Amino acid sequence: MTEIIIIRHGETEWNITGRFQGHSDIPLSAAGHEQAELLGKNIALDGIDKIYASDLIRAVETAQPLAARFRLPVEKDEALRELNFGTWEGRYFSEINEETPDLMKQFYRDPESIDIPGIENFQEFRRRVAGRVREIAAQNKGRRIVLISHGASIRILFADILSMPVRAIWHVSQFNTAVNRIRFEDDGFAAITLMNDTAHLSM
């Protein structure tokens, strides 16, 4: 059995102000750094074998306290990046909702059908993230691996594992530094054993 622990990055200023981040390289806020420290200190693990993180700074900074605790390097992986939101990147949710409320509703109800210039195709996004996570699991059989990624990336992975339609992904909560555990059998069968856990923040 292989365990993949996939964790959302800590808080950023853009999370606070409600802006689409995507591939924009936004660092953690002061509160985000505190969350990362609490994660590294309090997460209930007696050992891990490897740590991978999206190559975006908010994921790398989230991984660093955990890496220091277990004396492991952080392996940066572009395939674990967030969804590319195209021309919506950097824009405020409220601004887009005010300009095009129907388009915003469509994004949350049927994201695959939306036409935003430059947005990443959701099926390609699914193959990118879920394919890479399954590849990491296959390469590390019998180990416990931590991945630091992003909200939509984790949701699209869950859609792949649970055979959910893409339109259902926004019904899954992922708080900053939320911990999720997935068990992979040797044949690739996967089961989610923990979802959206932030107990480490209240210790």
Q: Would strands 50-53 and 144-149 be described as parallel, antiparallel, or unpaired?
A: parallel
Residue 11 assigned to a binding site: yes
Look up residue 56 and give its DSSP letter. S
Share of the chain above pLDDT 90, in %: 99
Residue 9 assigned to a binding site: yes
Burial class (CB in 10 A: 0-12, 13-18, 19+), 106: middle
Residue 203 binned pLDDT confidence (cut-offs 50, 70, 90): confident
Q: What residue spans define the domains of the chain?
A: 2-201
Share of the chain above pLDDT 70, in %: 100
Q: Are 55 and 78 in contact (CB under 8 A)?
A: yes
9 belongs to the catalytic site: yes
Per CATH, the number for 2-201 is 3.40.50.1240
Taking the C-alpha atoms of residue 56 and residue 58, their distance in angstroms, rounded to an integer, is 6
Residue 14 assigned to a binding site: yes
Query: What does the pLDDT look like over 91-112, one tens digit per residue?
Result: 999 999 999 999 999 999 999 9
What are the φ and ψ backbone dihedral angles of 29, each rounded to 5 degrees?
A: -80, 175
Q: Are 51 and 79 in contact (CB under 8 A)?
A: no
Taking the C-alpha atoms of residue 48 and residue 143, their distance in angstroms, rounded to an integer, is 8
Which run of H or E residues covers position 127? Answer: helix 122-139
| Catalytic position from the list 3, 37, 61, 82 | 82
Residue 95 assigned to a binding site: no
Query: What does the pLDDT look like over 56-76, one tens digit per residue?
Result: 999 999 999 999 999 999 999
Determine the pLDDT at residue 47: 95
Tokens 């969804």 belong to residue: 83
Write down the mean pLDDT value for the chain: 97
Burial class (CB in 10 A: 0-12, 13-18, 19+), 163: exposed
| Catalytic position from the list 9, 23, 150, 200 | 9
Residue 192 pairs in a beta bridge with 182
Report residue 51 as tokens: 């740590």
Cα–Cα separations (whole angstroms), residue 139 to 48, 104, 166, 186: 15, 39, 27, 10
82 belongs to the catalytic site: yes
Residue 15 assigned to a binding site: yes
Residue 200 assigned to a binding site: no
Tokens 């909200």 belong to residue: 151
Q: Helices in 71-190 by DSSP H: which ranges?
A: 93-99, 101-109, 122-139, 151-162
Tokens 């693990």 belong to residue: 45
Look up residue 98 and give its DSSP letter. H
